[in-house]
C-alpha cells in the first residue's frame, strides 16, 4: 500500500479575492462556490486566508457591517502550509499542533497549488468516522 500524500486529497480549485472585497461579497462567493474559505491576495503575493467561521466570529459577532468590512480587516496572515508530497498524516498532525482546520498546499515552483481541510483528511484517514461521514455528506442548502 502506498502512502497517501496531500496531493491525493487536496482541493485545487482555490478561490482568490482581493483584500478590499467586502465580507458580504466574500460570503456570497463562498456560497456560490460551495467552499468554506478564500485566499486573500493582492498582486502576486498571498495576504492570508479568510474562512466562513472567521466572518462569523471576527466580524458578525462583533457587530461589524458585512457590507462595509473588508477581508483585509479580518484576514489570518499567519499561513500554515504543507507540501504536496507530504503525507496526509503529516498534514493531520500539523493541523492538530497548529489548531487549524485547513492548510495551504505550496510547492517551490508554482507556489500555492491547493488547500486541504480537516474534512478532506477525515474522509481518507477514517472514512467510517463521524467526521468522515459528515465530510462526505451532501451540503445543506
Question: How many CB atoms are located within 10 Å of the residue 62 CB?
Answer: 10
pTM over 0.75: yes
- For the chain, what is the mean pLDDT? 88
pLDDT at residue 32 greater than cutoff 50: yes
- Homologous superfamily (CATH) for 6-136: CBS-domain (3.10.580.10)
Q: What is the pLDDT of residues 48-63, one digit of tens each?
A: 999 999 999 999 999 9
Q: Are 25 and 73 in contact (CB under 8 A)?
A: no
Instruction: Name every residue whose Cβ is closer than 8 Å to that of residue 68 and which is 6 or more positions away in sequence.
Output: 22
- Listed by start position, the domains of the chain span 6-136
pLDDT 10s digits, 123-140: 776 655 444 444 444 555
Amino acid at each position: 500500500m502506498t502512502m497517501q500524500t496531500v496531493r491525493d486529497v487536496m482541493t485545487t480549485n482555490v478561490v482568490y479575492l482581493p483584500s478590499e472585497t467586502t465580507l458580504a461579497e466574500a460570503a456570497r462567493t463562498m456560497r456560490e462556490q460551495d467552499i468554506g474559505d478564500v485566499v486573500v491576495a493582492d498582486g502576486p503575493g498571498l495576504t492570508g486566508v479568510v474562512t466562513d467561521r472567521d466572518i462569523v466570529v471576527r466580524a458578525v459577532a462583533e457587530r461589524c457591517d458585512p457590507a462595509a468590512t473588508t477581508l483585509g480587516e479580518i484576514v489570518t496572515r499567519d499561513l500554515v502550509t504543507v507540501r504536496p508530497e507530504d503525507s496526509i498524516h503529516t498534514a493531520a498532525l500539523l493541523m492538530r499542533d497548529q489548531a487549524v482546520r485547513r492548510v495551504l498546499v505550496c510547492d517551490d515552483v508554482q507556489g500555492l497549488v491547493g488547500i486541504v481541510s480537516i474534512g478532506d483528511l477525515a474522509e481518507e484517514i477514517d472514512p467510517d468516522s463521524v467526521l468522515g461521514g459528515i465530510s462526505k455528506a451532501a451540503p445543506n442548502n
